[in-house]
Amino acid sequence: MKILVTGANGYIGRHVVSELLNKGHQVIACDLHVTDVDERAERLEMNLFTTSDTIFNETGCPDVCIHLAWRDGFVHNSKNHVGDLSSHFRFLTSMIDGGLKHLVVMGTMHEVGYYEGAIDENTPCNPLSMYGIAKDALRRSMLQYCKEHNCILQWCRAFYILGDDKNNHSIFTKLLEADAAGKEKFPFTTGKTKYDFITVSELAHQIACVATQEKVMGIMNCCSGKPVSLAERVEQYIAEHQLKIKLDYGAYPDRPYDSPCVYGDTQKINIILQRT
């Protein structure tokens, strides 16, 4: 398959590109800069926000578009999330109008907002951050547009991602930086909140499996399906990387929009993984 990956030079994108190439697909890797993209991919430097009516042809008439491009993903209340929303919509609808028949978009658990328990495709959404609000709005609009224009849509919701930690801005990145700086303590919350953790390599594998099949569609969770407390996972990370730093529990309050326990329902992703 010929697969366009937007945001290909980003934290998740680089892994998705390599995963698809390893599966034998032709990959068009698109981003503002493509310096860190797998050399086996066809590289395309482009600003998607300057979309023209011929964007589908300009990007090589792909069989599938995996849209990962997004600014400030680790800054949940950046105004760029809502500010860029119309540009994402314009790009995706222009691709569909041009002939795209299969679209995969990166979503997030933050579309849902405060929720306790397993999130599935029918879980009500009430996002509490600019990031969640923008992703939720894009999901709703693309579900409608794809239905009207006979385009397959697969919306991949990600949960708590780790791995390749020097290239993201998560708590694990900050731990590495603090330990390297010789700090003895790391300010921390209570750590009791339970999340669904997934490594970026496994997330890339799941996204690639989703995108290269057409039987399972709609909203699906790319996750482990296993809730683990933040304290347990961070302590495990410290041990795995043999860091000397210690957690200073209670230095920060828990975020008000984080539920005590939230994780993804894996029914749909498991069906896909079993078939690939």
Residues with catalytic roles: 131
Residue 67, strand partner residues: 6, 105
- Can you state the angle between helices 13-22 and 200-211, rounded to 10 degrees? 60
- Give me the count of residues in the chain: 276
Q: Which of 17, 15, 69 is nearest to 43 (CA)?
A: 17
Q: Which of 49, 61, 113 is nearest to 86 (CA)?
A: 49
CA separation, residue 136 to residues 37, 70, 157 (Å): 28, 14, 11
